[in-house]
Chains A and B, each alone.
Chain A
Amino acid sequence: MRIDPAVKKETLYILGTSIILSVVMELVFWLVGHMDYTVPLGNLLGVGISVLNFFLMGLTIQKSIGLDEKAASDKLKLSQMLRMLMVVALAAVGVGLPCFHALAVVIPLFFPRIAIAFRPLLDKNLKQQPADDTTLD
């Protein structure tokens, strides 16, 4: 199956921002003095869950675009329920097992939301750049 360029672009954006935010989070853990091997492991699991969840959501949206309204709505409701179950199961594993730091698993789940909150700033910069170039020319 071919992945839609919009899905690929947004997933890569979320992945990139999640990596940057992960570095910031690990720095905070290091500064607070709670840094051990469980933090990067938990961070890896948390980022993996959130990016996988986002990518699967994008794929579902891509598939449901061609359907009629009712079928698309039902497909996304089912997908959301299954993805939520996946997140619950994986996050429970991350919080339950001692080899993962519970906070380092839970915090990255909100990274996509933070990435989207910063998105308008990035879009504004990208839109301003060509305009600036034309004025210079």
Chain B
Amino acid sequence: MELAIGIILAGCAIGAGLALIAGIGPGIGEGHAVAKACEAIGRQPESKGAVTSTMIMGCAIAETTGLYGLVIGILLIFVAPNLFVNILKNAVGK
């Protein structure tokens, strides 16, 4: 029983760590987008407002991808262990 609970907890922790890797991608993407936006504004300074507005929206969309991973990670850390241990205990009890 203890071994099974240990495996569940370890699985949740490893899964949460893997899910949080999703946070790396948006950072790289946003950095790339801002670099290109700076280049565009350098070429056409009059388009600064429009470029900034579009970029903010684009960055927010890119960041949602990271948030999906983050939410999965949080659920795996805080919600999943209790849930899975209870399922295991009920299964063993039967």
Contacts and interface: CB of A to CB of B under 8 A. Distances in A.
Given A74-B31, A102-B78, A109 B71 contact: yes
Contacts of A95: 74-75, 78-79
A70 interface: yes
Contacts of A92: 74, 77-78
A76 B30 contact: yes
A65 B33 CA distance: 11
B49 A72 contact: no
Main secondary structure of the interface of B (DSSP, over half): helix
A77 B60 contact: no
A5 B49 contact: yes
A4 B52 contact: yes
A81 interface: yes
Contact of B63 (A14, A57, A75, A96): A57
Contact of B52 (A6, A69, A81, A102): A6
Given A61-B59, A65-B38, A72-B34, A113 B74 contact: no
9 contacts: A6-B53, A65-B52, A73-B31, A74-B31, A80-B63, A84-B27, A88-B74, A112-B64, A113-B67
Interface of B: 20, 23, 26-28, 30-32, 34-39, 41, 48-49, 52-53, 55-57, 59-61, 63-64, 66-67, 70-71, 73-75, 77-79
